[in-house]
């Protein structure tokens, strides 16, 4: 018997089961507990209950609740019209596990920073390096040309200065000589495979100074607060670690959930509310923009998790 022969009500019931599973998983309910509802919630009458159970399309728990038997591979083969729903469910199940792993790593990092505040130096160096590198260092063309760079040179050389500029920031908050300290930190804590850390070729100091002049880096550094530095560093370093571990969420729902988890950890670490931390960052960017550093918002920004 094909699904069409169950009638419209049975089809709608199965779609509601998909939605129940997705809602629960998106709200952090474990796979074992997700999707269970009274049959009335799915509009399943006794005749359909028996048929759906007999064919293994649904399962029933000890409380008499029902859910889609999503682990039954035969269902996927039989009901090809539901491929899209199964793909979405697979994505949610995968993200559920990845967010659990991410939470474990986040807990490890948070506890390390609480017990050993000196580790912030390495987190700052790592996070700022990735943020600056990804930003590609936007600046005024006239300023770029004025320091002897062609636009093509700038696109190559400016990102290569990212690790050195990041170290300059990190040294304000602790002792760190070079990026070997960051590598040793990652290796010691085992939160990331150090083979994934590929540093750009270092830029000579003359060019680094020119990059800093074009970016007005001294003015930018002068406006940064400690919360600006730590918030940006924490987000960007954690994003890098998740990428190394292939643990980034695939769905928007779990991206938002992970974002919330990261903010909870930061609030706990910095003893400050998310709204205040964001306002502080926005104020810094606004001040720099008012001073003519209009590219500040393209450099100092929080990453998209997904």
Say if residue 35 is in the same domain as residue 134.
no
Per-residue pLDDT, averaged over 239-245, amounts to 88
pLDDT at 10: 64
Determine whether 60 is exposed, middle or buried from the number of CB atoms within 10 Å of its CB (0-12, 13-18, 19+): middle
Where a domain ends, among 21, 48, 78? 78
Asked if 153 and 224 sit in the same domain, the reply is yes
Q: Which of 78, 110, 139 marks a domain boundary?
A: 78
pLDDT higher than 50, residue 2: no
Based on the fold, state whether residues 132 and 281 are members of the same structural domain: yes
Q: What is the overall mean pLDDT for the chain?
A: 88
Contact 249, 306 (CB under 8 A): yes
pLDDT of residue 6: 54
The model's pTM is 0.81
The answer to whether position 180 is within a domain reads yes
Are the C-beta atoms of 35 and 59 separated by less than 8 Å?
Answer: no
Beta strands in 73-138 (DSSP E): none
Residues 139 and 248 both lie in one domain: yes
What pLDDT does residue 195 have?
Answer: 75
**Position 116 in a domain:** yes
46 inside domain: yes
Backbone φ/ψ region at 293: left (φ over 0), alpha (ψ -120 to 50), beta:
beta
Residues 84, 134: Cα–Cα separation, whole Å: 34
Closest Cα to residue 281, out of 242, 238, 235, 240? Answer: 235
Please count the CA atoms within 13 angstroms of the CA of 277 that sit on its side-chain side.
24
Q: Is the pLDDT of residue 1 over 50?
A: no
Residue 107 sits in the same domain as residue 197: yes
Q: Are residues 43 and 126 in the same domain?
A: no
> What average pLDDT does the segment 122-149 reach?
95
Q: What b/e string do you get for 81-101 counting C-beta neighbours within 10 Å, with b at 16 or more?
A: ebeebbeebebbbebbebbee
**Do 8 and 108 lie in a common domain?**
no
Element (DSSP H or E) covering residue 265? helix 252-270
**Residue scoring higher pLDDT (158 or 26):** 158
The better pLDDT of the pair 306, 178 is held by 178
Highest mean pLDDT out of 18-32, 75-89, 248-262, 280-294: 280-294
Residue 287 lies in a domain: yes
Q: Are residues 211 and 123 in the same domain?
A: yes
- 54-58, long-range: CB < 8 A, 24+ apart: 55/1, 57/14, 58/17
Each residue of 108-135: b (16+ CB within 10 Å) or e?
ebbebbeeeeebbbbbbbbbbbbbbbeb
Does residue 91 fall inside a structural domain? no
**Percent above pLDDT 90 for the chain:** 55
Claim to verify: residue 10 and residue 117 sit in the same structural domain:
no
What angle do the packed helices 83-115 and 180-189 form, to 10 degrees? 110
Q: Provide the domain count of the chain.
A: 2
Whether 87 is in a domain gets the answer no
Residue range 132-152: mean pLDDT, rounded: 94
Please calculate the CA angle 50-55-60 and round it to the nearest 5 degrees.
55
Using the predicted structure, report yes or no on whether residue 302 has a pLDDT greater than 90.
Answer: yes
Residues 204 and 277 in one domain: yes
What percent of the chain is predicted at pLDDT more than 70? Answer: 94
User: Cα–Cα distance between 243 and 228 in angstroms, integer?
Assistant: 23
- Residue pLDDT, tens place only, 47-56: 778 888 888 8
Least confident of 9-13, 86-90, 124-128: 9-13
- Report the pLDDT value the prediction gives residue 51, as an integer from 0 to 100: 82
74 and 101 inside one domain? no
5 pLDDT above the threshold of 60: no
Report phi then psi at 178, rounded to 5. -155, -175
Residue of 140, 147, 133 whose CA lies nearest to 197: 133
Identify whether 89 is part of a domain. no
pLDDT tens, position by position, 173-232: 999 988 888 888 888 888 887 776 777 778 899 999 999 999 999 999 999 999 999 999
Q: Does residue 64 sit within a domain?
A: yes
pLDDT of residue 9: 61
* Domain region containing 46: 3-78
- Give me the numbers of helices (H) and strands (E) for the chain, helices first please: 15, 2
Residues 44 and 150 in one domain: no
């Amino acid at each position: 018997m094909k699904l069409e022969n169950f009638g419209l009500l049975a089809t709608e019931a199965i779609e509601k089961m998909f939605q129940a599973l997705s809602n629960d998983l998106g709200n952090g309910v474990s796979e074992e507990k997700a999707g269970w509802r009274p049959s009335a919630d799915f509009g399943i009458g006794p005749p359909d209950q028996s048929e759906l159970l007999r064919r293994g399309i649904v399962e029933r728990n000890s409380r008499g609740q029902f859910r889609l038997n999503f682990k039954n591979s035969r269902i996927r083969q039989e009901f090809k019209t539901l491929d899209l729903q199964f793909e979405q469910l697979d994505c949610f199940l995968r993200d559920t596990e990845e967010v659990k792993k991410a939470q474990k790593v986040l807990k490890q990092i948070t506890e390390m920073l609480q017990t050993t505040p000196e580790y912030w130096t390495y987190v700052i160096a790592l996070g700022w390096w990735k943020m600056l590198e990804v930003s590609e260092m936007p600046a005024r063309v006239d300023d770029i040309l004025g320091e002897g760079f062609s636009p093509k040179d700038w696109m190559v050389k400016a990102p290569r200065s990212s690790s050195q500029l990041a170290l300059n920031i990190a040294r304000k908050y602790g002792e760190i000589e070079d990026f070997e300290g960051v590598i040793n930190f990652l290796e010691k804590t085992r939160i990331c495979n150090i083979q994934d850390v590929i540093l750009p070729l270092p830029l000579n100091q003359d060019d680094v100074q020119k990059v800093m002049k074009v970016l007005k880096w001294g003015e930018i550094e002068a406006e940064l607060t400690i919360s600006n530095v730590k918030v940006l560093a924490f987000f960007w370093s954690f994003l890098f670690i998740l990428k190394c571990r292939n643990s980034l969420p695939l769905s928007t729902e779990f991206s938002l959930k992970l974002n919330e988890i990261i903010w909870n950890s930061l609030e706990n670490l910095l003893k400050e509310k998310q709204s205040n931390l964001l306002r502080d960052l926005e104020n810094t960017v606004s001040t720099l923009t008012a001073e003519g550093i209009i590219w500040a918002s393209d450099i100092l920004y929080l990453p998209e998790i997904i």
